[in-house]
């Protein structure tokens, strides 16, 4: 292997890739903008702090004025409507997120020691805003109900403790804030997706695309070895996957900060990562980029045409989601037994680093296994490229 | 260079793809300063012969030496000694002519200053200097072919393999490519051209091999072929030989 020829090939590949709008789109625009926006925008828009829920209220008489005054808040806008209005229709039309019908003699019913008033709520639970409105309203109803209970109990002369004989004392043992937990879920997922999708277009273009456009034939008549060609192209594929992943980290982090703000967590991330852990995340990102780039090279060198490569490679971006999702539902023991599985290994390092749980043994094992997979994938890719089939299959 | 071994020497070169024989026992040689034409219908085995000589394919049997290097034993050295114009120009749309020449020149291990000087010279010869920094994606077929030809010449190789160099080109582009070939013949290169253009073959080639169904059916100068077939023009010679 001649390093200067590899550098020449890499240099040309990089120049060519940077002039290709589709590569730039996959490498820069999508990671930094599209997915974080898609993820966080709905939550941001649904947030009642930013955008209070609109609730239509039908009062049978003014005995429910007191309850209604308590219901209205910064997050809940109550609007009184006429008794003749069709509540179902109003909700269906989207005029209001929720409708409340308050019964007649509301306060008088509650004054008694043993009577119950029924509040009817109209809501479309298939809409996110409807669900948010329902939980907000139910919260207010429970609060008001608790107040009535206290009043009723007080009249009997019993102390408030009589109603809650057992109290639950929950103590959080997580050392990290909610931001870190959110990142521990999102980061492996996103980094996996971007490691795969960031360089996918480039890899298809530089292997199957070159074959299809017949530029490969001229390249193969140069005094370079096919190993040098594969390695030169692979290095740029890794670089592109890496850039795309790093931009994704920035995009997601920005998204989490905005999102945490949107749901009212002023403490934002509650995140403190040591330099060592940050380095681990960086290395794991590199490993993910190398794993996916080598796998993509292998698959698309085999493909006859760009289209065929596309058909082979597209499922990868869905496959990579599986370990990221599965990780959330696996027990710690089961997860450890997957430590040497491809993709799982790098994702585990990222998660453990974020949650400050990484141990030297597991990290070494995870890195080693990832490296072995990469070398195997690349070796097979080079073997295919070295065989006449690389040329004849078109 | 009297007595110098021929730059291209093919001995019983054969290539089979499964049960299909694409090139069958092909034997010929090309000396320096000579243009050798491979004339034949589509699918006769011209491109496969070119690909064997450029080491893209490995022969099933037989062998060849190019510039004294054996195809099978020294493919890297063979590739360093040849300039190839493939059937498709195979240029990168997003690179300029100059970038192409610099890229391939570097792969040939040319020193930077020599490479820049030679690129400028070649671009000048092909009258591409004013378009040297335009991406080739915007070029016409004729201009692309000129760039591809320059790419084949960049490292000043002793052997040139040109597969259908003027196919689909207008008269002016074809003329300038012919002029280019003449120029390098005078420099003593061995040039092999595959074509099905009779006029081109008659005009450029010192010797012609007629290839049909993977086999060479006749080889010689135009005069020799005329004598053998008692036909005057190359087209009639060709038709008669292929029909036999």
- State whether residue B116 sits within 8 Å of chain A by CB: no
Encode chain A (394 residues) as per-residue pLDDT tens digits.
889 999 999 999 999 999 999 888 888 888 888 767 777 777 777 778 778 899 999 998 888 898 999 888 888 999 999 888 899 999 999 899 999 999 999 988 888 888 889 999 999 988 888 988 999 999 999 999 988 988 888 888 888 787 788 888 877 665 556 667 777 888 888 888 888 998 999 999 999 999 989 899 999 999 999 999 999 999 999 999 999 999 988 887 777 776 665 554 444 455 567 788 888 989 899 989 999 999 999 999 988 889 999 999 999 988 888 988 888 888 888 888 888 888 889 999 998 888 888 888 888 998 899 889 989 999 999 998 888 866 665 4
pLDDT at B139 over 90: yes
Is the CB of residue A21 less than 8 Å away from at least one CB of chain B? no
Q: Judge if A372 and A325 occupy the same domain.
A: yes
Residues B67/B158, Cβ–Cβ less than 8 Å: yes
Measured between CB atoms, which of A8, A19, A214 is closest to B107?
A8
Q: How many residues does chain B have?
A: 244
Is B82's CB within 8 Å of A221's CB? yes
Q: CATH code at B222?
A: 3.40.50.300
- In this prediction, residue A260 carries a pLDDT of 62
Instruction: Identify whether the C-beta of residue A23 lies closer than 8 Å to the C-beta of residue A202.
Output: yes
Q: Which of A314, A221, A327 is nearest to B154 (CA)?
A: A221
Rounded distance, CA A170 to CA A28, Å?
Answer: 44
CA distance A290 to B148: 34
Q: Judge if A233 and A318 occupy the same domain.
A: yes
Kindly state whether residue A263 falls inside one of the protein's structural domains: yes
Confidence at residue A177, expressed as pLDDT on a 0 to 100 scale: 62
B3 Cβ under 8 Å from any chain A Cβ: no
A159 and A197 in a single domain? The answer is: no
Q: What is the pTM of this model?
A: 0.82
- Nearest alpha-carbon partner for B196 in B205, B206, B188, B187: B205
Q: Are A105 and A202 within one domain?
A: no
How high is the pLDDT of residue A161?
81
Taken in order A113, A116, A117, A122, is the CA torsion positive or negative? positive
Contact list in A for residue B88 (CB cut-off 8 A) is 213-214, 217
Same domain for A116 and A187, yes or no, is no
Per-residue pLDDT, A268: 45
| Disruptive mutation site among B15, B82, B92 for chain A (greatest number of A CBs within 10 Å) | B92
Tell which wins on pLDDT, B198 or A394.
Answer: B198
Q: How many residues does the structure list for chain A? A: 394
The answer on pLDDT for B32 being more than 80 is yes
The pLDDT assigned to A392 comes to 60
Please give the Cα distance from B3 to A380 (Å, whole number). 47
| Residue whose structure tokens are 């006029």 | B199
Structure-block tokens of residue A328: 């959330």
> Which chain A residue's Cα is nearest to B80?
A223
| Neighbour tally for B70: CB within 10 Å | 13
Q: What per-residue confidence (pLDDT) applies to A194? A: 87
Please tell me which residue, B114 or A273, carries the higher pLDDT value. Answer: B114
DSSP B23: E
What is the extent of the structural domain holding A134? Answer: 47-163
The number of domains in chain B is 1
B191 located within any domain: yes
Both A66 and A16 in a single domain? no
Does A230 lie in the same domain as A365? yes
Q: Counting one residue from A and one from B, how many pairs have CB atoms under 8 Å apart? A: 71
Phi, psi (deg, nearest 5) at residue A107: -70, -30
**Structural domain containing residue B24:** 8-243
Chain B 73-102, residues with CB within 8 Å of chain A CB atoms: 76-77, 79-80, 82, 84, 86-92, 94-95, 99
pLDDT at A249: 83
Which 181-220 residues of chain A touch chain B by CB within 8 A? 213-220
Q: Is residue A321 part of a domain?
A: yes
Residue B2 lies inside a defined structural domain of this protein: no
Query: Edge to edge, what strands does the sheet with B8-17 contain?
Result: B20-30, B8-17, B61-66, B69-70
Indicate yes or no: CB of B151 within 8 angstroms of CB of A221.
no
Return the pLDDT at B93: 96
Q: Is residue A238 situated within a structural domain?
A: yes
Q: What is the CATH number of the domain that holds A118?
A: 3.40.1710.10
Query: In a 3-state reduction of DSSP, which class is residue B220?
Result: strand
CB within 8 Å: A15 and B99 = yes
Tokens of A133: 């409105």
Q: Which residues of A touch B54 (CB under 8 A)?
A: 221
Q: Does the structure's ipTM exceed the value 0.95?
A: no
Distance separating alpha carbons of residues B69 and B81, to the nearest angstrom: 9
Q: Return the residue in A13, A16, A221 with the most chain B beta carbons within 10 A, the one to mutate for interface testing.
A: A221
B154 touches chain A (CB under 8 A): no
Write the DSSP string, A136-205.
Answer: HHHHHHHHHHHHHHHHHHHHHT--GGGG-S---------SS-HHHHHHHHHHHHHHHHHHHHHHHHHHHI
Looking at per-residue pLDDT, the higher value among A388 and B154 belongs to B154
- The answer to whether A20 contacts chain B (CB < 8 Å) is yes
Tokens 């694409």 belong to B22
């Amino acid at each position: 292997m001649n390093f200067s020829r590899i550098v020449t090939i890499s240099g040309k590949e990089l120049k060519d890739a940077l002039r290709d709008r589709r590569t730039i789109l996959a490498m820069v625009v999508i990671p930094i903008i599209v997915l974080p926006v898609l993820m966080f925008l709905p939550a941001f828009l649904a947030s009642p702090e930013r955008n209070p829920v609109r609730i239509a209220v039908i009062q049978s008489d003014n005995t429910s004025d007191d309850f209604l005054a308590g219901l209205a808040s910064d997050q809940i806008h109550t609007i009184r409507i006429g008794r003749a209005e069709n509540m179902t229709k109003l909700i269906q039309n989207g005029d209001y997120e929720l409708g409340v019908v308050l019964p007649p003699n509301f306060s008088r019913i509650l004054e008694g020691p043993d009577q119950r008033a029924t509040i009817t709520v109209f809501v479309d639970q298939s809409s996110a805003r409807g669900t948010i409105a329902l939980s907000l309203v139910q919260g207010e109803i429970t609060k008001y109900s608790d107040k009535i209970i206290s009043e009723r109990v007080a009249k009997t002369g019993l102390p408030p403790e009589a109603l809650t004989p057992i109290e639950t004392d929950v103590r959080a043992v997580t050392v990290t804030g909610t931001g870190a937990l959110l990142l521990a879920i999102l980061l492996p997922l996103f980094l996996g997706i971007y490691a795969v999708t960031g360089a996918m277009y480039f890899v298809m273009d530089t292997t199957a695309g070159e074959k299809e456009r017949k530029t490969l034939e001229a390249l193969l008549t140069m005094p370079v070895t096919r190993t040098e060609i594969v390695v030169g192209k692979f290095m740029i594929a890794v670089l592109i996957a890496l850039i795309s992943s790093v931009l994704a980290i920035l995009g997601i982090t920005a998204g989490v900060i905005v999102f945490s703000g949107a749901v009212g967590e002023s403490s934002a991330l509650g995140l403190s990562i040591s330099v060592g852990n940050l380095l681990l995340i960086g290395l794991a990102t590199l490993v993910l980029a190398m794993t996916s780039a080598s796998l993509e090279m292998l698959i698309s060198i085999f493909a006859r045409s760009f289209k065929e490569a596309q058909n082979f490679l597209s499922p990868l971006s869905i496959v990579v989601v599986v370990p990221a999702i599965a990780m959330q539902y696996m027990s710690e023991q089961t997860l450890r037994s997957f430590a040497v599985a491809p993709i799982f290994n790098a994702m585990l390092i990222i998660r453990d680093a974020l949650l400050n749980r990484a141990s030297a043994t597991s990290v070494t094992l995870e890195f080693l296994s990832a490296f072995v997979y990469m070398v195997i994938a690349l070796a097979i890719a080079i073997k295919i490229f070295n065989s006449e089939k690389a040329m004849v299959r078109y | 260079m009297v007595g110098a071994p021929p730059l291209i020497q093919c001995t019983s070169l054969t290539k089979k793809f499964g049960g299909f024989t694409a090139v069958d026992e092909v034997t010929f040689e090309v000396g320096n300063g000579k243009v050798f034409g491979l004339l034949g219908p589509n699918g006769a085995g011209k491109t496969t012969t070119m690909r064997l000589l450029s080491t893209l394919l490995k022969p099933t049997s037989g062998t060849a030496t190019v510039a004294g290097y054996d195809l099978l034993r020294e493919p890297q050295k063979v590739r360093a000694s040849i300039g190839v114009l493939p059937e498709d120009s195979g240029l990168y749309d997003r690179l300029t002519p100059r970038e192409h020449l610099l890229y391939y020149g570097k792969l040939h291990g040319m020193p930077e200053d020599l490479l820049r000087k030679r690129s400028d010279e070649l671009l000048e010869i092909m009258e591409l200097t004013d378009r040297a920094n335009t991406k080739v994606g915007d070029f016409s077929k004729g201009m692309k072919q000129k760039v591809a030809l320059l790419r084949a010449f960049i490292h000043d190789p002793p052997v040139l393999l040109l597969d259908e160099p003027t196919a689909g080109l207008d008269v002016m582009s074809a003329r300038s490519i012919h002029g280019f070939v003449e120029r390098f013949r005078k420099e003593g290169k061995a040039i092999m051209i595959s074509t099905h253009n009779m006029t081109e073959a008659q005009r450029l080639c010192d010797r012609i091999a007629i290839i049909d169904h993977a086999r060479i059916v006749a080889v010689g100068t135009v005069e020799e072929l005329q004598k053998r077939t008692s036909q005057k023009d190359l087209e009639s010679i060709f038709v008669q030989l292929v029909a036999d």
